Structure 1
Amino acid sequence: MPSGSRVLAGVLILAWAVVYLVTQVLVTPSLGVGTTLLAGVLLTTVLTLGYPSALRGPRAARTLSRQPGADGSGSGSGRTIAAAGRSMPLRSGLTPDAARRTAQLLRPLLGGDAVAITDRERVLAFVGPGADHHHDADEPRSGPGARAIARARTVVVRGRGSLGCPEPQCPLHSAVVAPLAIGARVVGTLQVYRVHEDPPPRDLVGGLAGILSLHLELAEADRERNLAADAKLDALRAQINPHFLFNVLNTIASKARTDPEQARQLLLRLSDFFRYAVRQDGHFAEFAQEYFFVRTYLSLEQARYGDRLRVRYDIDPQVLTAHVPVLTIQPLVENAVKHGLADKVAGGTVRLKARVDPLTRTTSIEVADDGVGIPADILARITSGEFGESRAGPRPPGGLEAGVDGAAGAAAEGGVGLRNISQRLETLFKERYALQVNSTVGKGTVVELRIPLR
């Protein structure tokens, strides 16, 4: 047994003896056997990982903080592969700018003289000797790059004639070319060159190509998630009820005869409403902007319903600067008006409450009404996930959808928008949000939304 392993074995035996004395002898009453075993295993793991024994190889092999240069000597780059992976520019996608910054970052780490990154059709970046004729935007050389893409395997090349470069004065003599893939689809290559016949380490280049491929997969997932969120947002914009527009215009027309100034103010508010809904950029906005949007909507509805619609706001000033998904609160408020209060002869009150919890780092929003409520069977279908449930837990009042009889059936169009909200929240926050609905027939409905504080 090597001396390093003997020392480590002795240290582990001593550690277990200490654990036994502490947990079984010195402590009264003694701890359970499970506790002793757990403490021993944890201590063994820490000692083994922290000790450069023969079982794990020399400690320097882990850090990779030095990579051989062109002459085979170590060149202290001061950077590790792990550190480079955390800041890899390709996380934003396979673009020329990201490729150039990645090639510059990887060149001192890969033990090569020149580094190139390509997609399937062109060279995106080339850094190092040979850059004068290996131009960015050139088509990939027909040699090793094409073979790596076709075979989806790493290719090692020795000898300048095998590189496929037509330039007779090219200083490069060897290369390792590894494919970059998203899943099973090869999307480009990582090419590492040297100016002598000894190529770079194949495993190192292949491992880095694997890391780059993972970043490209994450970038693709981000892009698809953003596209899905964009589609849901567009669907919500399209969901703005044309009946709401017609009803407001009818209200304005009637006010024009009795109160021209109020009619003018309503037209301005209607313009503000649609300008915000259509032109809002991005997926997030300050709560203050969404709050203004909701107040604009409710002022238009109050002009229509008069004293039958009452509104109460309970807004924590701290929440005004928090960022929330756009077009999320207004559909909840619209549901409260249309499906909670519109069919109630005496009308009722809509309450909007918003809070920030700095301890849990969450923003909570509550929309409540004292309207007709949701029948128990429909509410059960909502909480059971029958209306578009995709994960455990209560979902939005999607029960106000097609297929429900009576007054609830008239809420089908609202349910589509609410389901889009739910799906968009899941796209934006994964499991880090909650959207719940509670309702009692004749007493009203409460919708609670909790999202991470931004």
Structure 2
Amino acid sequence: MPDSPLVSAAAIAVIALAIAVVIAVGLKVLRSFRDLGTDAERATYKTLHAASRAGQHLRTGLNPAGAGKASRQLRGLLGCDGFAITDTTGVLAWDGAAEELRPVLMEVAATVLAGGHTAVIPAGELRAPGGRSPAGAPGAGYAAVIAPIRVGSGVAGVVAAFAPEAGSGLVRATGEVADWVATQVELAELDASRTLLMEAEVRALRAQISPHFIYNSLNAIASFINTDPVRARELVVEFADFTRYSFRRHGDFTTLAEELRCIDRYLLLERARFGERVQVSLRIAPEVLSTVIPFLSLQPLVENAVRHGLEAKEGPGHISITANDSGAFAEVTIEDDGVGMDPDQLRSVLAGHSGGDHVGLHNVDARLRQVYGEDNGLVIETAPGEGTLITLRVPKSQPRHDA
């Protein structure tokens, strides 16, 4: 064909271009690999990555599930043949070789658990229950380093590393790993303490609701039974829905939408008592309704506005509730034109020095700081006779919190 030389030339050009592309991509990959750093930097990254993954599993405390998942990462950090984690009563996890020594580990670890000092046992010296292991027995070829997991003033368990020899490097490294595990356990205990504290504070809020609000609501409902039985029935339904939500037993978090529904029922019942004295306006951005917030974190603020702001005021009072989209945060404000509060009294309330008065403000402020950090508590603007404006900001994205 007359055009075959042209076709051949085009084919050769395409092949050459493909080869050039492959070479360019290969060079780029090689440069990217070099950009990862030196061997020492890559080793550091590998160590930190392994520690991070192990830490995720230990944040639930010393338990078989978490210890089992973390032990493989920790054995890799130490470079030992076998690795074990125990609590004070038994072996929680074992990874790698020498597992035939599991039955004797707790007996050997007893002195470490009691004294809190690392024990180094040479190869062939591990003692089985009732006597010394023979030199040719399985596991006899491993030395052991057993280091205490010191939590607070006690020992919560041990980590044990097994290798043909227990050199000074392995001894120091095992001690460091044990201290690191102890830190993760302490963090887990702190998380548990925070959870218990939040649960206690929610119980305190429920206790506050019980004597004040429930008694008054039932009296208000009773007053309508003869004069307006239809409204009385409606109020009973609203009261049942409010108490069902407020006294639920599951979950530390809810959505802004659910909390606003609770507030609506609360205000409906309060207006049954106060009539036109309580006026309410809401301005809610729809995009923040699904934001997760701590359970009972808004209702106590509205209750505080009614009880301590408007109830003591002569004539009608107004409460304004707004929720806006503020970038990565949802910003909620609750404002009343009631009697206000002295700033020194407010500082005492937020410090928890006010006894049973204004307990809702202190409680909500403390929980917000526990969940989102010390810089994320309530922002309150108030003065005698000037009403009160309360602002809170919560992240719109909270992967760890389920409503």
Length-normalised TM-score, structure 1: 0.71
Label 1:316 to 1:302 Cα distance change in 2 as closer, same or farther (>3 A). same
- Larger CA deviation: 318-327 vs 246-255: 246-255
- Asked whether 1:357 is paired with 2:294, we answer no
Label 1:438 to 1:156 Cα distance change in 2 as closer, same or farther (>3 A). same
- Asked whether 1:153 is paired with 2:117, we answer yes
1:380 corresponds to which letter in structure 2?
Answer: D
Task: State the match for 1:395 in structure 2.
Answer: none
2:48 corresponds to which letter in structure 1?
Answer: A
Cα pair 2:217 2:273 within 8 Å, conserved: yes
Cα pair 1:148 1:177 within 8 Å, conserved: yes
Cα pair 1:350 1:367 within 8 Å, conserved: yes
- Larger CA deviation: 251-260 vs 322-331: 251-260
Provide the secondary structure at the position in 2 that maps to 1:117: strand
Task: State the match for 1:312 in structure 2.
Answer: 281
Q: Aligned partners of 1:316, 1:170: CA distance in 2, in Å? A: 69
Q: Aligned partners of 1:388, 1:301: CA distance in 2, in Å? A: 25
Task: State the match for 1:207 in structure 2.
Answer: 176
- Asked whether 1:142 is paired with 2:107, we answer yes
Cα pair 2:339 2:384 within 8 Å, conserved: yes
Q: Aligned partners of 1:197, 1:426: CA distance in 2, in Å? A: 49
Task: State the match for 2:148 in structure 1.
Answer: 179
Q: Aligned partners of 2:121, 2:39: CA distance in 1, in Å? A: 28
Q: Aligned partners of 1:452, 1:305: CA distance in 2, in Å? A: 35
Shift of 1:151: 3.4
Q: Tell me the percent identity.
A: 35
Note the residue ranges of structure 1 that are not aligned, 5 or more in a row: 1-49, 53-58, 66-78, 391-397, 403-412
Alignment counterpart, residue 266 of structure 2, candidates 287, 291, 297: 297
- Larger CA deviation: 160-169 vs 174-183: 160-169
Task: State the match for 2:337 in structure 1.
Answer: 370
- Asked whether 1:344 is paired with 2:313, we answer yes
Task: State the match for 1:334 in structure 2.
Answer: 303
Task: State the match for 1:437 in structure 2.
Answer: 380
Task: State the match for 1:415 in structure 2.
Answer: 358
Provide the secondary structure at the position in 1 that maps to 2:107: coil
Shift of 1:294: 0.5
Q: Which runs of 4+ in 1 moved over 6 A?
A: none
Task: State the match for 1:238 in structure 2.
Answer: 207
Q: Aligned partners of 2:386, 2:179: CA distance in 1, in Å? A: 58
Q: Aligned partners of 1:440, 1:214: CA distance in 2, in Å? A: 45
Question: Deviations along 1:278-320, whole A, 9 cap, x unmatched?
Answer: 1152322110111111111001111222222111001111110
Label 1:371 to 1:388 Cα distance change in 2 as closer, same or farther (>3 A). closer
Cα pair 1:287 1:324 within 8 Å, conserved: yes
Cα pair 2:100 2:138 within 8 Å, conserved: no
Cα pair 2:310 2:339 within 8 Å, conserved: yes
Of structures 1 and 2, the one scoring higher in RCO (CA 8 A, sep 6+) is 2
Shift of 1:427: 1.9
1:365 corresponds to which letter in structure 2?
Answer: V
Task: State the match for 1:123 in structure 2.
Answer: 91
Alignment counterpart, residue 82 of structure 1, candidates 30, 48, 51: 48
Task: State the match for 2:67 in structure 1.
Answer: 99
- Larger CA deviation: 290-299 vs 213-222: 213-222
Cα pair 2:84 2:159 within 8 Å, conserved: yes
- Asked whether 1:425 is paired with 2:368, we answer yes
Higher helix share: 2
Q: Aligned partners of 1:223, 1:198: CA distance in 2, in Å? A: 36
Task: State the match for 2:82 in structure 1.
Answer: 114
- Asked whether 1:162 is paired with 2:105, we answer no
Length-normalised TM-score, structure 2: 0.80
Cα pair 1:229 1:428 within 8 Å, conserved: no
